[in-house]
Structure 1
Amino acid sequence: MEPYQVADQERIVAEPPKRVVAPERTPFERDRARVVHAASTRRLAAKTQVVGPQADDFVRNRLTHSLEVAQVARDLSRALNGPESPQPDIAETAALAHDLGHPPFGHNGENVLAEQAKGIGGFEGNAQTLRILTRLEAKTFDADGRSVGLNLTRATLDACTKYPWRFGECPGPKFGVYEDDLPVFAWLRAPGAGQRQCVEAQIMDLSDDVAYSVHDVEDGIVAGKISLASLDLDGVAETVADWYVPGFDRALAEATIADLRAAGCWIADGAAYDGSRRSQAMLKNLTSDVIGRFCGAVKAATYAAGSGPFVRYGADLVVPEQTRMEIALLKGVAAHYVMRTDERAVKMDRQRNLLGELVDHLAATAPDDLDRQFADDWRAAADDAARLRVVIDQVASLTDITALAWHERLCQGL
């Protein structure tokens, strides 16, 4: 039996096969191409990952991060199912798309829009990604003249669904679908799946964790903010416990570092980064080794738990506890030295004020100051809640740079 069925390849609007190139692309290859060419993908180049994209030519932005997540996801998927499986295309596309819904200023901006939208079902970057893929990104319209976004296959959309539940269904701020997007959510989900991620979404989710845990530390080292040879382990452990793993303490941090050091996945004492080519090579090889360590451990544990094929709802990815702790430690290092600094706190306050003022202004003046497509949505909206959702869609679509420019143009007198 083929691991992917006809239903997995279906689109919201049926499309005939295209023979533009030879050999003919699979449905999942076409999905990947659509995400690569989407305007929302291009905008990621000007959206914050950790440090603002205009701060330095080297540091990662949301686009470079997404490309790196996609590479990890593709490699892990190939390792699990072999090079002939179509799954690497699905997992890679989900990884390329996973941050499309992030607004300006990263998670800081996400928190502002969540507060502004709390009366209309909230805001969440992953729910916004689904909205972009199935509604806001212009590609295909149905028979009634409604946009269905990129018209991706069911399997690909499901792989993009990191949090397969609606607002309020699970504890915490994370969710994957707004109320007015529930029809397409019901269409893409497998019957009886409940709140379970398909394995392709699990691959995307893990690849995201792997990429940003390693690469955010790399960026911090290059920026001179992090030295792995001289860490404040009490502070790092506290950050991990606050943000990622409750109960994480200094002893666990020391044990985790010892495991990484024994595997050759740690910068040795005295080997400080100095910007030389040799130092750059050392750091790049270190990041490659750590990613390989994480993915190799997950592959081995997943193989040990079942025989495959590891597709859709036929299997689950297995992440060993040691791997989970190593990822959490690296995330905590980046958070402690980069995201929790006083300098960053002041900048985040300015960003929050800016986005809040921009939403308030556009809500008061819409549709006049909205881009054409959002002005059309606003005029077609049925009530005030739907109109505010359009304003949120508009602001979320902006990059860091355009948000600053819009605020300067529209809100100078505030």
Structure 2
Amino acid sequence: MHTDSRPGYSAADLERWLPEPPKSKARTPFERDRARLVHSSALRRLGAKTQVLGPSSDDFIRTRLTHTLEVAQVGRELGKQLGCDPDVVDSACLAHDLGHPPFGHNGERALADVARDIGGFEGNAQTLRLLTRLEPKVFGPDGAGAGLNLTRASLDASVKYPWRLWEGPQGRLTHKFGVYPDDVPVFEWLRAGAPANRKCLEAQVMDLADDISYSVHDVEDAIVGGKLDLGLMSQDAERSRVIEAVTTWYGDRFTPDQLDAAMTRLDQAGLWIDEFDGTRRALAELKDSTSGLIGRFCREAHDATRAAAGDGPLTRYAADLVVPEDTAAEILVLKGVAVAYVMAPRESEPLYMRQREIIRDLVRVLSERAPLALEPTFAADWQEAADDDARLRVVIDQVASLTDVSAAQWHARHIRPRALMSGV
């Protein structure tokens, strides 16, 4: 039988926003957190949400759900090696993309634009809102939803950006943030005792697992989808294209020479696939390459962290994850490859612009037709909202909950008939 005590975690780490009656101790509180996420409707919806390429592109590419499962596997193993409770890291990884809207980052930008006057929109802040308010599981005595009511440790581990809009670590302003103004009370509760603007170790592991999975698997998808030939990386012009993509999308943390050196290291390590013909053998070789990259990045982060923090279990705020500069540059180069050959070319595609239009149209029309046009859960939230800003946030919650497929269907149902009636 399990006890409620967990090595490396305090009694406060096991607390929940709303106290719950004692349950069977056959599972730990952290195992219970993970089970709640696995069975959540928000996790299921990720199966029909864009990762990089849309879910309907082909049968091979990753959705948000398959990406999430891969992040959870990478994060769980790395966290376990460092001494984190594996279920805390697993829960954080399963939760990390729950708040992302239809059409991936494209939809996120559209919602950020329409929400700019009410505290913005950010996928990670929306994740916190889902975990603590929107996902139906636990309700308080006043009838208010408490979401999945996870433990403080699991909630804190899921917060990738533990600050508000236009705040950030070391006073740096950033458009990435983890909490909306009306979710501050639960945010302050889960951050009780935490150093300001610092992520716990489990959140840092989740963040690295996300970066590793994102960079490696997006390149794999691009190769299989015929959008990328890594053999081109031997050409100076193509290397320059990747370096420019990194600088444009991710900033100038590394110089062009450092990024070029990172590409050279990956090539010399035998981790570039120079030829891919789509055969079963080629697919196996590509899978070996992706496994090698993941193992390389995790091993280097583990060894660097151990060198800095020593042996023994590492949890919460006892240590920081150390990612060597060369490793960070190599991960960023892979992100740059995906940007240069997949994401940047897509920016000007009519479909990509149409997706943002769908999101904006839905917010506008659902705001006009609320609460009748909203699902019952969101209609009730809209009725209880205190003012126009709060009502707009409810509409945005509704739109963000949709999948790529359902967003298109809702648009066809609510907007397209109006266009036909007006003669468009």
Please indicate, yes or no, whether the TM-score normalized by the shorter chain is above 0.5: yes
The offset of 1:317, in angstroms, is 0.1
- How many percent of aligned residue pairs carry the same amino acid? 57
Which residue of structure 1 lines up, in the alignment, with residue 287 of structure 2? Answer: 284
The offset of 1:123, in angstroms, is 0.5
Contact 2:165-2:174 at 8 Å conserved across structures: no
Name whichever of 385-394 and 299-308 sits farther off.
299-308
Equivalent residue runs for 1:54-93 within 5 Å: 54-81=56-83, 87-93=85-91
Q: Does 1:346 align with 2:350?
A: yes
Contact 1:124-1:175 at 8 Å conserved across structures: yes
Counterpart CA distance in 2 for 1:142 and 1:264 is 55
The offset of 1:247, in angstroms, is 6.1
Counterpart CA distance in 1 for 2:239 and 2:108 is 29
Letter in 1 for 2:342: V
Letter in 1 for 2:16: R
Which residue of structure 1 lines up, in the alignment, with residue 372 of structure 2? Answer: 368
Which residue of structure 2 lines up, in the alignment, with residue 157 of structure 1? Answer: 155
- Out of 302, 306, 310, the position equivalent to 2:305 is 302
Which residue of structure 1 lines up, in the alignment, with residue 136 of structure 2? Answer: 138
Contact 1:221-1:273 at 8 Å conserved across structures: yes
Counterpart CA distance in 2 for 1:239 and 1:221 is 18
- Out of 308, 311, 315, the position equivalent to 1:311 is 315
Counterpart CA distance in 2 for 1:17 and 1:245 is 49
Which residue of structure 2 lines up, in the alignment, with residue 33 of structure 1? Answer: 35
Letter in 1 for 2:327: T
Which residue of structure 2 lines up, in the alignment, with residue 48 of structure 1? Answer: 50
The offset of 1:16, in angstroms, is 3.0
Which residue of structure 1 lines up, in the alignment, with residue 19 of structure 2? Answer: 14
Q: Which runs of 4+ in 1 moved over 6 A?
A: none
Which residue of structure 2 lines up, in the alignment, with residue 117 of structure 1? Answer: 115
Aligned length: 404
Which residue of structure 2 lines up, in the alignment, with residue 207 of structure 1? Answer: 209
Q: Does 1:98 align with 2:96?
A: yes
Counterpart CA distance in 1 for 2:361 and 2:347 is 22
Letter in 1 for 2:261: A
Which residue of structure 2 lines up, in the alignment, with residue 403 of structure 1? Answer: 407
Letter in 2 for 1:156: S
Pick closer, same or farther for the CA change 1:333–1:10 going to 2, 3 Å: same
Which residue of structure 2 lines up, in the alignment, with residue 167 of structure 1? Answer: 165
Pick closer, same or farther for the CA change 1:319–1:385 going to 2, 3 Å: same
Letter in 2 for 1:285: D
Per-residue Cα deviation, 1:51-73 (whole angstroms, up to 9, x for no partner): 00011111000000000000000
Counterpart CA distance in 1 for 2:22 and 2:27 is 9
Which residue of structure 2 lines up, in the alignment, with residue 357 of structure 1? Answer: 361
Name whichever of 342-351 and 186-195 sits farther off.
342-351
Equivalent residue runs for 1:256-267 within 5 Å: 256-267=262-273
Pick closer, same or farther for the CA change 1:158–1:192 going to 2, 3 Å: closer
Pick closer, same or farther for the CA change 1:192–1:68 going to 2, 3 Å: closer
Q: Does 1:239 align with 2:255?
A: no
Equivalent residue runs for 1:325-336 within 5 Å: 325-336=329-340
Per-residue Cα deviation, 1:27-79 (whole angstroms, up to 9, x for no partner): 00000000010000000000000000011111000000000000000010111
Contact 1:75-1:88 at 8 Å conserved across structures: yes
Contact 1:238-1:249 at 8 Å conserved across structures: no
The offset of 1:114, in angstroms, is 0.6
Contact 1:133-1:150 at 8 Å conserved across structures: yes
Per-residue Cα deviation, 1:364-397 (whole angstroms, up to 9, x for no partner): 1110100000000000001000000000000000
Which residue of structure 2 lines up, in the alignment, with residue 128 of structure 1? Answer: 126
Counterpart CA distance in 1 for 2:349 and 2:254 is 24
Contact 1:238-1:248 at 8 Å conserved across structures: no
Contact 1:73-1:207 at 8 Å conserved across structures: yes
Letter in 2 for 1:373: T
- 3-state SS of paired residue (1:118): coil
Which residue of structure 2 lines up, in the alignment, with residue 273 of structure 1? Answer: 276
Aligned-residue RMSD, C-alpha: 1.4
What runs of 5+ residues in structure 1 fail to find an aligned partner?
none
Contact 1:237-1:248 at 8 Å conserved across structures: no
Per-residue Cα deviation, 1:288-311 (whole angstroms, up to 9, x for no partner): 000000000000000010125321
- 3-state SS of paired residue (1:135): helix
- 3-state SS of paired residue (1:123): coil
Which residue of structure 2 lines up, in the alignment, with residue 107 of structure 1? Answer: 105
What runs of 5+ residues in structure 2 fail to find an aligned partner?
1-5, 420-424
Counterpart CA distance in 2 for 1:408 and 1:369 is 13
Letter in 2 for 1:140: V
The offset of 1:272, in angstroms, is 1.2
The offset of 1:343, in angstroms, is 7.2
Q: Does 1:393 align with 2:391?
A: no
- Out of 202, 216, 219, the position equivalent to 1:217 is 219
- 3-state SS of paired residue (1:315): coil
TM-score when normalising by structure 2: 0.93
The offset of 1:262, in angstroms, is 2.4
Contact 1:309-1:315 at 8 Å conserved across structures: no
TM-score when normalising by structure 1: 0.95
